[in-house]
Every structure is written in C-alpha cells, then in structure tokens.
A and B are shown apart, each in its own frame.
Chain A
C-alpha cells in the first residue's frame, strides 16, 4: 500500500485542528460519570462548566482550550505500508505548520533558550514523532496537543529495589498532592513503572494519553491502576484544585521491565481537556477517529 506524502500532510494538518476542537467520546463519558457521582457542590458546578464548554466548542467550532500545546504525533506503521520515513516525517511537520498558519492557531512552541517563537508550532525536535509498528496493512497517525499546565507537572524518581512498590504508590500520591489545581484536574494520572529513565517517562506519557476505559496489559499494573484511582480520588483535591471527589478520571499505568538494581517511577498528567485525534490509512481510504 503506497502512501502519498501530500495526503499525510493534509491529514497531519486536519488532525491538529480536530484534536483541539472535539473531545474524544471516552473523555465525554468520563465527565458524565464524574458528574453523576460528585458530592461537593462547588466541584459539581466546576464539572458543569467544563461539560458546557465541550458543547460550546462544538457549537461554535472553536478550540476547547486556548493552549494549543506541544503537538505530538504517534505513528503506527503496519505491514506492507510504503512511504519513505523521511518523507513521512517531513509531511507531518508541514501539516503541523499549515494548521498553525491556516486556522490560525497560537504557536505555543519557542526556542528553549532564546524563547523565540517561529509561529509554526514547530522547532528543533518538535513536533516529536513517535513510531511504532503493527501487523495489519494500515498506517495510523495519532495527534496529541499536550497542554503545558499538565505537562509542567511531570516527575521522575529513580527509586531503588529496597523501596519496593511502596515507593511507587507513595510517589504517585505525593505527585497528585503537589500538582493540586495546577494540572487542570480532573486529570488522567499517567504512571510509568520500570524501564530506563527515558523509557519510564515515555511510559507515563503513554499512560496519561491512553483512552479512558482501557487497562494496563499487565495484570499487576491493572491492579495498581484500580487501587491508585480510588486512593487519588479520596484525597479531595477536586476539579481545579477547589475541592471535591473528582480529582482524576483514572490513574493509568504502563510498565516495562527494568534493571535488577532499579525501581524507576514516572508521573505525567493529562488535563481534563484530554484531547487526541487519529486517522487510519487503509486501502479503503482515510478514516478519522480518536
């Protein structure tokens, strides 16, 4: 299956705008669930405003949140997909630039030292493009605009084996307390466990951006997700840090094997505007989804 770079560019442009405007159905269901169970009056009002905003964004075809984020593209390349890697990369970047210029969107991306904004949402190493593989004959591009309020609350701890799983649990609780309202709760708390330091952080990001209702493939990780979700929501931080039961939609865990001497844990959060969009290229054409 040959993939036309021009079509990739068009899809990369469209995905950025779609992700910023339409919240995925699993997140909407997450809101409905929290709204139904929240017991705090202020929290209930805050959730109500967030739900209204989702509707207003769709009705006015406006962005859900002003933060256009750091654009992230996750690419899954299936069997028999033909496109040069460099052409794929360059097409995604052009699509991201075009979305920024043509919509227009606020470019939230600057040089880290000069702080210069090129007004393209692009720069050295940005957008990050992560590549994975699958067996089916398809190319999937997922786009995630990662807002800074949640991204600024990211932590890594290189705990040691002697600290065991207790270190992981304590770290997650302390990160949620430290984040307070700064991450725009209710959040998805992404927890990476194991790997190297960089892999651990990447796992946390993957966990934070995983659809609600999905579980960690590892049963130990899945059990931890359930107990930590309950624990986090018992803290009372609440939506926007103003108190209440709805601190997190869920705690998600992703794991990787690690070294005999290591016990790394990372936390990355996704705000309530948990935006993502995806497109799947098959022989039948391009299909947009979440």
Chain B
C-alpha cells in the first residue's frame, strides 16, 4: 500500500503504477464529468476545447453560485458544494473518455464494471474511490472553478476545477485487473445461500 501524490496531468507509467489499496492525493487540475456532458460528447458528436490528456475526471455536477468574474473566480462561478455521483450509470463512457480524450484517471463512487476494468488494463488507467455523500468535506479540497465548457448543460456542464490536497482517495480499480468492488461482490454473493438459510428460506 503506497500513497501517491499526483500532480496532474500524469503519464501512462504513473497511472499503471497505481495498485488496488494504494491511496492517492490529486493536485492541480481536475475535470468534472457527468451523464449529460458525456452523452453530448460521445452520443451527440459535440466536442470540447479542453485538453484532458493525462488528466483525472470526477463524476460530479456541483452546486455553484453565479458571480461577477474575478481573478479568483475567472468563470463567474463560485463552488458552493462539490460532491461525487454514482459512477455505474456512466460505465459505457469510460473507454471513449480514455481513447478519444486521453483521460487517465476516473474518480467516483460505487465503482465501475468489467468494460472499464478492461479499458484501464488496455489503455493504462485507474479508478479512485471517493466517499460518496461527503461533499461538504470534498468542497474544502476545491480551490476554484477554473474553466467551464458545454455550459448550456448546466449544472451538467464540463467543469475544470483547481484542487489542492484532493484526497486521500482509494485506488479501487487498477490497470492490473484488480477491482475491490468485484472482490467484495464475489464474497457477498458467496454468502447468499447461508444468509437465506439462516432466514429460514429453503
């Protein structure tokens, strides 16, 4: 179990160095992705001006306040509450995110499936688990909303955050076929028969 401090963006080798049960802190840029912006990018043919190669993307749609643009808040958005949403809904977008946009690291809650695990192995990436429902804490790691694209989809815009000490996050899926979610799921399903028997179900 190693702790990695990653200054974004990272190389393929850095992404492949992450192993399940390691912990990570992200420094610098972090992109916010969501259902609507990924549908726009990968189903509707829209494009983004953001260069996401080697970067990390988090499954989110924040609460923001519209304010006059300033050096502190260049987009005219101040973050109010930035949290994380359930990743599983967006499973099919992992591969295009990595192949087309060059994203290396996904951050979310609840885990991703077999397609994502294969993409991490093939293309060199990892999934970092954040604790869902702890947005008040997570917001304290966000310095600013640095940029925003596809803002007609607000609040499901494509966000670019500047973060400091974003973590610790747990490496829950890696490029070596490891997935904590698969391991827990296998174990839990293995206990199903005994659990039902104890409940008197024959």
Contact = CB atoms under 8 A, between A and B. Distances in A.
Interface in A52-97: 52-53, 56-57, 60, 62-68
Contact of A184 (B60, B109, B137, B140): B109
A257 to B, nearest CB: 23
Interface string A234-248: 111111111100000
Given A62-B80, A181-B109, A235 B140 contact: no
A242 B132 contact: no
B172 A242 contact: yes
Nearest to B81: A63
B198 interface: yes
B110 A149 contact: yes
Interface stretch (B3-11, B84-92, B116-124, B143-151): B84-92
A170 B198 CA distance: 11
B81 A169 contact: no
A144 interface: no
B86 A180 contact: no
Q: How large is the interface on B (under 10, 10 to 19, 20 to 34, 35 or more residues)?
A: 35 or more
Interface string B160-193: 0000000000101000000011011101110110
Binding site secondary structure of chain A: loop
A66 B187 CA distance: 31
A107 B136 CA distance: 18
A63 B65 CA distance: 13
Contact of B199 (A52, A63, A169, A242): A169
Nearest to B62: A66
B47 interface: no
Contacts of A52: 134, 137
Interface in A25-66: 42, 46, 49-50, 52-53, 56-57, 60, 62-66
A171 to B, nearest CB: 10
A260 to B, nearest CB: 23
A36 B140 CA distance: 27
Contacts of B154: 117
Given A65-B134, A106-B81, 8 more contacts: A63-B81, A67-B85, A104-B65, A166-B201, A169-B200, A181-B110, A184-B133, A235-B191
Interface of B: 36, 60-66, 80-86, 88-89, 109-111, 129, 131-137, 139-140, 154-155, 170, 172, 180-181, 183-185, 187-189, 191-192, 195-196, 198-202
